[in-house]
Amino acid sequence: MNSVSLLEAKNINTFYGLSHILFDVSLRVEKGEIVGLLGRNGAGKSTTMKSIMGINPPRTGEIFYKGKSITGKRPFVLFRLGIGYVPDDRRVFADLTVEDNLEIVYRRNNEWTKERVYEIFPALKNIRNRRAGNLSGGEQQMLTIGRALMGNPELLLLDEPTEGLAPIIVKALEEQILKLKEAGISILLAEQNLRSALKLVDRVYIIDNGAIKFEGTKKELEENEEIKRKYLLI
Amino acid sequence: MKKPLLILGYFIFIFFLVSTSKLFAEKTIKIGIVDTYTGPPTTFTFDVRDAFELAVKEINAKGGILGRKIEYTTRDEKFKPDVGLAMAKELLLKEKVDILMGTINSATALAVSDLARKEKVPFFVTFAKSDKITGEKGHRYVFGMNENTEMAGRAAALALSKMPYTKYWIAGDDYEYGHAIAEGVWRHLTKLNPKVTKVGETWWKVGEADFTPYITQILAAKPDFIIVATGGAGMVNFQRAAKATGLSEKIPFYQHTAIEHSVLMPQGLNAPEGVWGTCNYFFYYPDTNENRTFVEEFRKAYNRYPKVGALYGYVTAKFIAEGFKKAKTFDKEKFIDAIEGMVIDSPVGKLELRKCDHQLALPMYFGRTKKVGGWEFLIASDIQTIPSKDYMPSCEEILRLRK
Amino acid sequence: MFEAKGLSKSFDGFMAVSRVDLSVEKGEMVAVIGPNGAGKTTFFNLITGILKPDSGRIVYKGEDITGLSPYEIFRKGISRSFQIVNVFQRLTVFENVQLSVLSRENKTWDLITNASKLYTDETEKILEQVGLLEKKNTVSGFLSHGEQKILEIAIALGGKPEFMILDEPTAGMSPEETVRCMELIKRLREEMDLTILFCEHDMDVVFGYANRIMVMVRGETIIQGTCDEVKCNRLVQEAYLGLSDE
Amino acid sequence: MVKVEKKKLIAAVLVIFLLFPLILPRFYVYLTSLIMIYGLLATSLNLVLGYGGIFQFHHCVFYGVGAYATALILTKTSLHPIFAFIAGPICGSVLSLILGIVCIRLSKLYFGMLQISLGSLVWAIVYRWYSFTGGDDGIHGIPIPEIFASTNGAFYFALMITTVSMFVIYGIVNSPFGKTLQGIRDNPVRCEMIGVNVRLHQLLALTISGFFAGVAGMLFVVVDTTVFPELLFWTLSLEVLIMCLVGGWFTFFGPMLGAGIIILLRTVVSTYTVYWALVLGIILTLVIFFLPNGVLGFIEEKFGRGLKRENV
Amino acid sequence: MDIYTILSQVLVGLSRTVILFIVSSGLSLILGVLRIPNVAHGSLYMLGAYTAYTISKFFGGQDLGFWVALIGAPLFVALVSFIAERCVFQFLYEREHLMLLLLTFGFSLIFGDLVKMVWGGEYKTVPVPKVFQGYILLFRHLHLPLYNAFLLIIGPLVAFLLWLFVNKTKMGKISRAAAVDREMVGAVGINVSWVFGMTFVAGCFLAGLGGMLVAPTISVTLGMDHSLIMESFLIVIIGGLGNIWGALIGALIFGLTQSIGILIWPKFGIILPYAAVVMVLTFKPKGLLKSTW
């Protein structure tokens, strides 16, 4: 392959203190696609995200972004290179207003503005002066995505965006995520809700107990009942 | 596992220490100074040390005493009595000094004085103002080289009793020194002038920075005169507040050492005028040859005017030198016998070290602050000299206290 | 043996646990499952006295233990292990377990005896049971994650419990460790005649070991029953897989 | 075998200490007494700090109160001196218990700050109660029973009391209570879960620690025959904290070693320069930078039964 | 005791509050965002006062010197703290609080001796500029010095500017976000280390400003740091760690209880602020306002 992947992780091993969480995880995100990282709770999805983002850097292994090694770089550097991160627990800056949450983000250029974020998430516009800590889960989720967008990312790491949200909001969110894809943003989506994931993704990885167990297109997964049963279903 | 290393380290340190104590050459008169060289008191203690050094150089230049040079070493006690005591013990037991001197801290002075009594080593106190040092707690081995609170109080009371004021307010730093000064003045003032009455009292914590609230309260009570018993940095702080609030123009007040150089010089020409004070020494008064020579030499050596502490340091060195000369031996007991009641010349005239209580009899100057052309700061004016015999507690009083 | 009746707890208006009923019979092994944020840990905190319920009652062996402090509940024979590793990091493995035994025996006020000679047999027996005996002098902070989780259980065992509450005993373990850990729990239950309430994400574990399962979603119990009942329940599938289209 | 050697070692060390007055100049005998006093004080602080995880910032209050109680009984009453020696520690522990009851609800830094402000109140009382405590001048020339009055006498007295106290503290640290305390330090929540009443245990620890601070205060009176309010001032407390830290606050002998290092440094450095605070400051920052576990902690880490750094 | 006496006492208490507030708000900022209990804060305050003296002296004690010092002294302190932050503190953010407390105590020892080396032991004073000499008479007998009146204006001004900084500038918003979640701030492209450095410098700037402002009312001496730092810490604690408004309320409590205390109970007036601290912490163990911890 001569084309360079947008993101490529090669054999990363990550630890929390002494406990070994990720075992030789490798994955790839090409430009323009949504890649699903599926697995049960505690399977290692969030850790993978954090490893890529440099928040919890891998002890061994390498990560490449647009062909350049970004292993061990600090999160703010990665953000400035165009990797946006939306954590699973949302982590809005609770003391600040919605607008301030968007404004303090480092901006590479003006491609994404507050207005454009409000266009994608109209709900945010009406509550722009509310304290972020007082928002509902769905609103906070929109805000964290919007916040990541303000940095004009080319790659978005979305960690369980639908977790704990009401079905109707999940639906809206799914549409919005598809809109982002249209806008040319590649997405690595961590998800345990298979149903929701299958609506969005082009390709999937299944992770369990810190190791990648399956890699394939959406179709391959849909057809592979055994994998679904073993790692995702009851 | 741990113990041997601990012990080993300990011994390395000990030997290190032992070896350093050999640094002093033999055959000198060793004097150890324990004093505060940290924090606000340094403004006084540096002068004591420097003037002492000046005198020691003079003496050594003339060949020392009985063929021996004087050597001295200083220790910073950081205004902490426990540190001061440990350092005094170090000087005594390790450096084997012949004479101890120093400290502005009364608690340290009293603690070291007790040590000096046990160890039978002369101890010259050079700035601690507690009257207990040569009074109640006095003994054969301690010498008071500066005025104490009782003396200051009596001198001030003597001068104030001749003034027309009757309604007094007492204010001061809430610590031993403040209370002792105020009490000293008040006790004798009521004795000398039965008409005086006390309108009220205010005490603030030591190191108080803002006096405005207290001054407001005092102004409201409208006394004739205020006795302000502050010490250290509080002297300057109070004067500045008095000037800023207009207190100094409305009500006259007295502070011990208010007219002293260390208080007035930092304020430049902004210090309040007309503040009454008492002091033992000015570099411009008395205008005698001895004083001029001393000031000249001090300025040459340290590039500043000597303050009151310089007198104490200088005189102490002189007494030590003359004492050994008179005793003609280095025996400490004989030395003490020699300096008891000895009189020497000093920048402020002849001074006697009283035999009964080992207190230096200093003349006290009473005066008020004034702007005088040619000076970059206020100086004392209308100076009255109160001779020591007029105000010092008598030997009987002291002996009664010591019983 | 143990019964929770209508337990509710809310934080700032958010119902973390709402009207949960659960009864556990002696010797049972009951699993609580549910997605993240379903209120499992809060429920356990209510039972063990870390949190006080807004309403509802907890009855253990016919005695109302609602609102008692954690240490009082421990004395009644209810022990708990934690989801996040929660051992005494600077103490050795032996001391960790011994502390729990000392506490049960009410010896923590003893200032005189040398602790290293107290209850060594019992402590070592517990360590042997859980397979940590050869590590007994290791400072527990240096154990691997899996070992620390086992130590958690050992600490809980120190209280000679009859009722054990295990909060995700296998979280963060490798598959082999998970199997070993669950086998250990199974063995302990048989050997010591324990009643166990645990929560777990690994469904293999849940269906392999639990007698009965309670499913919680958003603070509410949606079903209680045997493995098969739960497996076939549509609500459960929805909660886990989002298979519903409504 | 190890046990026997340990005992022999301790005995040997004690013998060396017993011989100190015979082989060392008087000043070092005095200095050793001083180090033992501050070492005991730091060890008593470490009982709650290093072993209990309680941020007792103003520990010197109990030390000072112990010293004052001893001094006041010796000077103002005609009671047998033994009462004075007992009263110091008791006053220290009672005060410690009282302050502890007020502060114990708060955690970590808040505990420390409340404790420091309450301690400052005690200091203020001592400082201004002229008629009783002698105010800021303190009490000097305290009469000590003849046999302890000399430098050597005081040294043996201090050695005896310190040794006994260290053995007792060592016993407490290794008793079930001590283990429980360490458990509370590591994980108070978990401790509750295994049936420990955390607050009451912490209170007892504070009381014990106050008791030994009082013992140190009493020894200070015997060795230096003087008391003054600076013994209760918060800067001294910080110095004692530094002793614990420099020596190693997760080790038993660390505070004692730290006291030795700080006091010897003070003695040596102040011989050469008036800027010894500067030197102390630089050493302190270097220690924190490079030896976060203190000197003894570092030695144990390097050569001993490896308690490697894991940040809890 | 009439109402005017009380009013005047309150007013005077307020001017003391201003200095306490300025210094404590800087301390609170550093505590809240960086979590460093900065004992050396008092030393920076002292350094500010000494720098003000030097600048004022350079201009021959003229008014110009005061105004230059007003800007220059805090800036110099900020520079010193910047160097300290880049060289030392930035490597130690994750250390335990106790360690940081003692580390900064070590720094305060170093600063204290350095100031002694540079400026010596003499008392120094900074002259009050001509415009602020004299006093105004309020409520019949309150002699409020003009400089105190100036402080009463400066105080709210600083509070307002701080409010602007914290709530309206990007930097302030980032620092507020970083106080709560420094990891996430890094993950939205902000160099957290730099933000921390700047916040530290801003806090120290306030310490320098406090020292500069206090200089014309007192004698600048060694050891002025010691008396202040304890009070500042207590103010920050009762106000709520890291909450700038808490610092304001704490300073008010401190300044007012003290000046009122003098009025009603002269002998033990100074105990009242400490008693207030004990009271507050007894009922509100985490301080009056929400702490960022």
pLDDT at D161 (0 to 100): 93
Alpha carbon dihedral C152, C153, C154, C156, in 10-degree steps, equals: 90
pTM, full prediction: 0.85
* DSSP classification of residue A4: P
Q: Do chain E and chain D touch with ≥3 beta carbon pairs under 8 Å? A: yes
CATH 3.40.50.300 fits A7-231, yes or no: yes
Of A76-85, B121-130, C4-13, D54-63, the poorest mean pLDDT is in C4-13
**Which among D178, D189, D195 has the least Cβ separation from residue C103?**
D195
Which of the four pLDDT bands, split at 50, 70 and 90, describes residue B13?
Answer: low
- With a cut of 60, say whether residue C220 has pLDDT above it: yes
ipTM above threshold 0.90: no
**Which among D130, D228, D304 has the least Cβ separation from residue B107?**
D228
Cβ of D27 within 8 Å of Cβ of B76? The answer is no
Phi-psi region of C69 (alpha: psi -120 to 50; beta: other; left: phi over 0): beta
Q: pLDDT: is D205 or A39 the higher one?
A: D205
Question: D206, C134 in Cβ contact below 8 A?
Answer: no
pLDDT at B255 (0 to 100): 92
Provide the chain B residues 25-44 that lie in CB contact (below 8 A) with chain D: 37-38
Is C203 strand, coil or helix?
helix
- With a cut of 80, say whether residue C154 has pLDDT above it: yes
Rounded to the nearest 5 percent, the helix, strand and coil shares of chain C are 40, 25, 35
Q: Name the closest residue on chain B to residue E61, using Cα atoms.
A: B268
pLDDT at D306 (0 to 100): 43
Q: In which residue are the tokens 């992780």 written?
A: A9
Min Cα–Cα distance to chain E from D67, Å: 24
pLDDT (tens digit per residue) in B312-355: 999 999 999 999 999 988 889 999 999 999 999 999 989 999 99
**Which among E110, E226, E234 has the least Cβ separation from residue D281?**
E110
Cβ of C203 within 8 Å of Cβ of A234? The answer is yes
Taking the C-alpha atoms of residue C21 and residue C57, their distance in angstroms, rounded to an integer, is 9
Average confidence score pLDDT of chain D? 86
- With a cut of 80, say whether residue B186 has pLDDT above it: yes
Chains in contact with B, where contact means 3 or more Cβ–Cβ distances below 8 Å, are D, E
**Residue environment code for A73-103, b if the CB has 16+ CB neighbours within 10 A, otherwise e:** bbbbebbbbbbbbbbbebbbbbbbbbbbbbb
Architecture of domain D2-310: Orthogonal Bundle (1.10)
pLDDT at A107 (0 to 100): 80
Q: Name the closest residue on chain C to residue A19, using Cα atoms.
A: C145
Min Cα–Cα distance to chain E from B119, Å: 33
pLDDT at C205 (0 to 100): 76
Which of the four pLDDT bands, split at 50, 70 and 90, describes residue E187?
Answer: confident
pLDDT at B312 (0 to 100): 93
End-to-end C-alpha distance for chain A, whole angstroms: 38
Q: Do chain B and chain C touch with ≥3 beta carbon pairs under 8 Å? A: no
Cβ of B216 within 8 Å of Cβ of E214? The answer is no
**Which among D114, D116, D277 has the least Cβ separation from residue E112?**
D277
Taking the C-alpha atoms of residue D55 and residue E47, their distance in angstroms, rounded to an integer, is 30
Token pair for residue E82?
């910047």
Helices (H), B134-206: 149-160, 176-192
Average pLDDT over residues E173-193: 86
Domains of chain E with bracketed CATH: 3-283 (1.10.3470)
Cβ of E223 within 8 Å of Cβ of B38? The answer is yes
Which of the four pLDDT bands, split at 50, 70 and 90, describes residue E51?
Answer: very high
- With a cut of 80, say whether residue B16 has pLDDT above it: no
Is E21 strand, coil or helix?
helix
Token pair for residue B398?
């002291």
Cβ of D189 within 8 Å of Cβ of C112? The answer is no
Taking the C-alpha atoms of residue E168 and residue A153, their distance in angstroms, rounded to an integer, is 26
Cβ of C91 within 8 Å of Cβ of D182? The answer is yes
Token pair for residue E197?
């450095």
Token pair for residue B15?
């030997």
Average pLDDT over residues B232-249: 87
Q: Is the dihedral angle over the CA atoms D148, D149, D150, D151 positive or is it negative?
A: positive
- CB of E192 less than 8 A from some CB of A: yes
**Which among E122, E144, E263 has the least Cβ separation from residue B266?**
E122
Min Cα–Cα distance to chain E from A100, Å: 7
Q: In which residue are the tokens 């304890």 written?
A: E230
pLDDT (tens digit per residue) in A149-201: 888 889 999 988 877 677 778 888 888 888 888 888 999 999 877 777 888 88
Angle at CA A81, nearest 5°, toward A79 and A84?
Answer: 35
Q: In which residue are the tokens 């300044």 written?
A: E255
- With a cut of 50, say whether residue C243 has pLDDT above it: no
Which of the four pLDDT bands, split at 50, 70 and 90, describes residue A18?
Answer: low
Q: What would the 3-class secondary structure string for E197-252 be? A: HHHHHHHHHHHHHHHHHHHHHCCECCCHHHHHHHHHHHHHHHHCCCCHHHHHHHHH
pLDDT at C28 (0 to 100): 83
Non-local (6+) Cβ contacts of B125 within 8 A are B101, B102, B103, B109, B113, B133, B134, B142, B143, B144, B145, B146
Which of the four pLDDT bands, split at 50, 70 and 90, describes residue D304?
Answer: low
Average pLDDT over residues D16-45: 89
Min Cα–Cα distance to chain B from E201, Å: 26
Question: B215, B247 in Cβ contact below 8 A?
Answer: yes
Min Cα–Cα distance to chain D from E134, Å: 35
Taking the C-alpha atoms of residue A192 and residue A210, their distance in angstroms, rounded to an integer, is 14
Which of the four pLDDT bands, split at 50, 70 and 90, describes residue C240?
Answer: low
Is C55 strand, coil or helix?
strand
Taking the C-alpha atoms of residue A178 and residue A186, their distance in angstroms, rounded to an integer, is 10
Token pair for residue D298?
């570092």
pLDDT at E141 (0 to 100): 65
Cβ of B87 within 8 Å of Cβ of D270? The answer is yes
Which of the four pLDDT bands, split at 50, 70 and 90, describes residue A234?
Answer: very low
Is E1 strand, coil or helix?
coil
Q: Name the closest residue on chain C to residue A47, using Cα atoms.
A: C172
Which of the four pLDDT bands, split at 50, 70 and 90, describes residue B402?
Answer: confident
Amino acid in the structure at residue B293 = T
Taking the C-alpha atoms of residue B384 and residue B391, their distance in angstroms, rounded to an integer, is 13
Among D2, D222, D271, the strongest candidate for a mutation testing the B interface, having the largest count of B CBs within 10 A, is: D271
Among A19, A56, A194, the strongest candidate for a mutation testing the C interface, having the largest count of C CBs within 10 A, is: A19
pLDDT (tens digit per residue) in C107-137: 888 787 787 788 888 888 888 888 888 888 8
Question: C26, C71 in Cβ contact below 8 A?
Answer: no
- With a cut of 50, say whether residue E153 has pLDDT above it: yes
Taking the C-alpha atoms of residue D147 and residue D154, their distance in angstroms, rounded to an integer, is 8
**Which among E109, E274, E281 has the least Cβ separation from residue D281?**
E109
pLDDT at D65 (0 to 100): 94
pLDDT at C244 (0 to 100): 40
Angle at CA A192, nearest 5°, toward A191 and A196?
Answer: 70
Q: Do chain A and chain C touch with ≥3 beta carbon pairs under 8 Å? A: yes
Bond before D25 cis per omega within 30 degrees: no
Count of C-beta atoms within a 10 Å radius of residue E93: 15
- With a cut of 70, say whether residue E16 has pLDDT above it: yes
pLDDT (tens digit per residue) in B364-379: 999 999 998 888 899 9
- With a cut of 70, say whether residue C172 has pLDDT above it: no
End-to-end C-alpha distance for chain E, whole angstroms: 43
**Residue environment code for E114-124, b if the CB has 16+ CB neighbours within 10 A, otherwise e:** bbbeebebbbb
Domain range annotation of chain D? 2-310
pLDDT at D43 (0 to 100): 95
- CB of B97 less than 8 A from some CB of D: no
- With a cut of 80, say whether residue A113 has pLDDT above it: yes
- With a cut of 50, say whether residue A1 has pLDDT above it: no
Q: pLDDT: is C134 or B189 the higher one?
A: B189
List of chain E residues whose C-beta atoms are within 8 Å of the C-beta of residue B172 = none
**Which among B4, B81, B83 has the least Cβ separation from residue D138?**
B81
- With a cut of 70, say whether residue D307 has pLDDT above it: no
Alpha carbon dihedral E63, E67, E70, E71, in 10-degree steps, equals: -150
- With a cut of 80, say whether residue E139 has pLDDT above it: no
Average pLDDT over residues E271-283: 81
pLDDT (tens digit per residue) in E238-262: 888 888 888 999 999 888 887 777 7
Of B348-357, D63-72, E183-192, E254-263, the poorest mean pLDDT is in E254-263
pLDDT (tens digit per residue) in B267-300: 888 889 999 999 999 999 888 999 999 999 999 9
* DSSP classification of residue B93: I
Token pair for residue A26?
């490798």
- CB of B18 less than 8 A from some CB of D: yes
Token pair for residue D72?
């006041």
Taking the C-alpha atoms of residue E261 and residue E271, their distance in angstroms, rounded to an integer, is 8
Non-local (6+) Cβ contacts of C218 within 8 A are A164, C15, C37, C38, C39
Chains in contact with D, where contact means 3 or more Cβ–Cβ distances below 8 Å, are B, C, E
Token pair for residue A138?
């769905």
pLDDT at B15 (0 to 100): 61
If interface means Cβ-Cβ distance under 8 Å, which residues of chain C face chain A? Answer: 35-37, 142-146, 168, 171-172, 174-175, 178, 201-203, 207, 218, 230-231, 236-237, 240-244, 246
By the 10 Å C-beta count (0-12 exposed, 13-18 middle, 19+ buried), B300 is classed as exposed
Cβ of D110 within 8 Å of Cβ of E237? The answer is yes
**Residue environment code for B222-257, b if the CB has 16+ CB neighbours within 10 A, otherwise e:** ebbbbbbbbbbbbbbbbbbbbbbbbbbeebbbbbbb
Which of the four pLDDT bands, split at 50, 70 and 90, describes residue E268?
Answer: low
**Which among D34, D140, D261 has the least Cβ separation from residue B114?**
D140
pLDDT at B197 (0 to 100): 92
- With a cut of 70, say whether residue B4 has pLDDT above it: no
Taking the C-alpha atoms of residue A42 and residue A53, their distance in angstroms, rounded to an integer, is 18
* DSSP classification of residue A211: E
Domains of chain C with bracketed CATH: 1-77+161-246 (3.40.50.300), 88-160 (no CATH)
CA-based nearest residue to C140, from C174, C178, C96: C96
List of chain B residues whose C-beta atoms are within 8 Å of the C-beta of residue E263 = 213, 217
Helices (H), chain D: 2-23, 26-49, 60-76, 81-103, 108-128, 130-133, 146-149, 151-174, 176-186, 188-193, 198-224, 234-247, 254-272, 276-290, 294-303
